[in-house]
Amino acid sequence: MKPRGLNSLFGRLAALVIVVLLLPHFVWYALVNVERSEMRSHYAVEETRFLIEAVEQHVASGSTEPLPWRLRTVPLAGPGVPSGRTPIVPNLRAFIAELTERLPAGTQIRMPEDAGKARDPLMWVLLPEQPNWIVMAVRPRAPPRPEGDRMLIWLIASFSAAVLFALFAAWRLQRPIRKLATAAARFGRGRDVPPVVEEGPQEFRMLTRRFNQMVADISRNESDRGIMLAGVAHDLKAPLSRLRLRAEMVDDEKQRNGFVRDVDSLTHIVDQFLVFAHDGADQSPLQSVNAHCLRYARNFHSAWPERAPLRLDLQARDDCELSAATLDRLLSNLIENAYQYGAPPVTISTGAVTEAALPGALPSRVAHEREDGAGPVITSGWFVAVSDEGNGIPEAELGSASRPFVRLDPARGGNAHCGLGLAIVERLAQRAGGQCVLSNGPAGGLRVELRFRAG
């Protein structure tokens, strides 16, 4: 399963990068805007003071040149002079205060009552000991640029480029960890794992190197164990065959049957050890699970006519397939377990897995699976299940029923077994990418459901 969203390393790195880049960009833009606003206001004050001084010099020189359209002079007693009690427009208060500081002491500044409604309000200025009011249209701030705010455009462009570069760096940083997690999950399911390429920071390369070494060591140990078990099986098969032959020669029928039964039990235990320890990949062809279950039921009835017949409830789609050898081993162990420790009738069922299926069912060792990352709980796909109508397993012991060498004799009593039946089933299912789910049926009996993903 691929990690997505903020739960993945890439998602969290991406969120961290965006926040770290966005915060200083926003603060810088806000500070620059404030500074630029103050600079524009200061520029407007200086421009107004310059015009007032220019008009004063123009009047003092007696020049006959006309003043610009924004400027004119009005005699002290001329028409339209605003009252001295005219309030200053609130949005111009800072501008008027700064302009007053820049002009000579005693300068009067007045504005008409409708100054707040005008785009360029008129301001009346009377310098000390001057016979005329200077009237001008004022702009407290410079007009906005007609081509738009280039600073904001450049800010967005630089932020986008930085985010893209940072996301690429985050993707490169998390890629070794993701490859390592995929390899670990594959190795946990018993599949062959090629050496992972060492890349990324030094810590990631060291982790990958140690993982590769661990996989190589485990594979070598498994190979040695397989060779050893093959030798043990060869050494045990011959004495067991001789023991069975000698048992057949015993004259006492009761003793002969007991010897044969014990030899068969020992042979069965040896076979279970070999199946449990076998880690080789299943190379058998894929088969339809419905067709294989139907064929298995027919062969079972022919081989064991004295046993109650198997029931079939095959609802899986035709494209639900599994390796023939794996499916045969799974069915053999489950059906033998059901007949030996449960009670007939025994049912083989297949169908689609949904998230609401089997409420209350306990995935075998699901806590352990989630902790080591061997595989997520499968809530969609298809299943094959074997159920009986015996006494079942106590709810408190469902979680440990599939552990190796665990015997549940009080609930599923019996002899001549080593507690590997459900452990073999769970290992085979996990090796095929599936999940083993144990539950007790409503009417009693154990139900073992093997879930697999579709496709």
Q: How far apart are CA 79 and CA 325, in angstroms?
A: 111
Q: Which residue has the higher pLDDT, 395 or 361?
A: 395
Closest to 273 measured CA to CA, from 322, 332, 233, 324: 233
Question: Domain for residue 110, yes or no?
Answer: yes
Q: Are residues 300 and 418 in the same domain?
A: yes
Q: 72: burial class by Cβ within 10 Å (0-12, 13-18, 19+)?
A: middle
Q: For residue 189, what pLDDT band results from cuts at 50, 70 and 90? A: low
Q: What integer pLDDT is reported at residue 46 of this predicted model?
A: 84
Is-contact 382 452, C-beta < 8 A? yes
Confirm whether 351 is domain-assigned: yes
Please check whether residue 2 lies inside any domain of the structure.
no
Same domain, 120 and 91: yes
Shared domain for 240 and 378, answered yes or no, is no
Give the CATH number, domain containing residue 402: 3.30.565.10
Residue range(s) defining the domain that contains residue 288: 283-452
Residue type at position 253: E
pLDDT over threshold 60, residue 264? yes
Confidence band for 430, pLDDT divided at 50, 70 and 90: confident
pLDDT digits over 39-71, tens only? 777 888 888 888 888 888 888 887 778 887 778
Range with the lowest mean pLDDT among 71-75, 138-142, 243-247, 374-378?
A: 374-378
Neighbours of 289 (CB within 10 A): 25
CA 118 to chain centre: 59
* Number of domains the chain contains: 3
Give the pLDDT score at 374: 42
Does pLDDT of 262 surpass 70?
A: yes
β-bridge mates for residue 349, sequence order? 313, 385
| Domain-embedded: residue 201 | yes
Q: Rounded distance, CA 363 to CA 166, Å?
A: 41
Q: Are residues 61 and 80 in the same domain?
A: yes
Decide which of 281, 303, 324 is a domain's last residue. 281
Q: 128 and 37 in one domain?
A: yes
Residue 225 lies in a domain: yes
pLDDT recorded at residue 360: 43
DSSP 109: E
Cα 402 to Cα 239: distance, rounded to the nearest angstrom: 31
What type of residue is 363? P
**How far is the C-alpha of 269 from the C-alpha of 337, rounded, in Å?**
13
On the question of pLDDT at 302 being above 80, the answer is yes
pLDDT computed for residue 254 by the predictor: 77
- Of residues 273 and 441, more confidently modeled: 441
